[in-house]
Amino acid sequence: MNAEQFQHKTNVSRETLEDLEAWYNLLTRWNKKINLVSSATLHDFWLRHAMDSWQLINLLPEGTKTVLDMGAGAGFPGLALAIGVKNGLKNGLKNELKNKPEVQITLVESNGKKCNFLRTVIRDLTLPAKAVQARAENLEPQMYDIITARAFAPLPKLLDYSLPFWGASSQAIFPKGENWQSEVDAARKTHNFDLTTKDSQTSEAAKILCITNLRKGA
């Protein structure tokens, strides 16, 4: 998949595609100096990284205000969500709201160099997001509407990390690969939660896990 195919499949605006391309160009340049993503996957950016992250934008519930992306790495999925919010693709936002977006994305990354990359993209693209250098388990507890992470940790650990940020209306949205069912089975031994799954647009074997009513204890 290339940029034109991505645009055709998602029907994003020209402005949105330009932001995604700017992110890709920064990623390509920075990846020569620091290991943001595997060089073997960088050539497949539009499907393996961009699309896999972008598909979450339509899963944000009505009224979402705050999103936490744990272990953000190179910005998947947090920067993709921020680009969508900026360009008015969430909850009917209009382009005139670009400078006062309703949704704030917080990207948490413990690696200082990766965090600097995130801050560079956020600054250069004027995204409604902030990057925080910290380990997820060391963050001060605070409620978020949406908690997400991609390729960060097995589901039981993700749920442990999520608990300090969980409120009555919180939801988690975790893209998972072909072993998603075994991760769910393991998580149910230590946590109580309601689960719905969505088909992934990037792999027939993958699922997106949408979790509500999270509680510790099986």
The predicted pLDDT at position 95 comes to 46
CB 140 within 8 A of CB 146: no
DSSP string spanning 116-144? HHHHHHHHHHT-SEEEEES-GGGSPP---
**pTM, two decimal places:** 0.90
Overall number of domains in the chain: 1
∠ at Cα 145 (140, 149), nearest 5°? 75
User: Among 140, 165, 136, 1, which residue's Cα sits nearest to residue 67?
Assistant: 165
**Using one digit for the tens of pLDDT, what is the confidence trace for 5-25?**
888 888 888 899 999 999 999
**CATH number of the domain that residue 64 is part of:** 3.40.50.150
- Look at residues 114, 164, 156, 115 and name the one whose alpha carbon lies nearest to residue 137: 164
Domain span including residue 183: 3-216
Are the CB atoms for 156 and 185 separated by under 8 Å? no
pLDDT < 50 regions, the chain: 91, 93-100
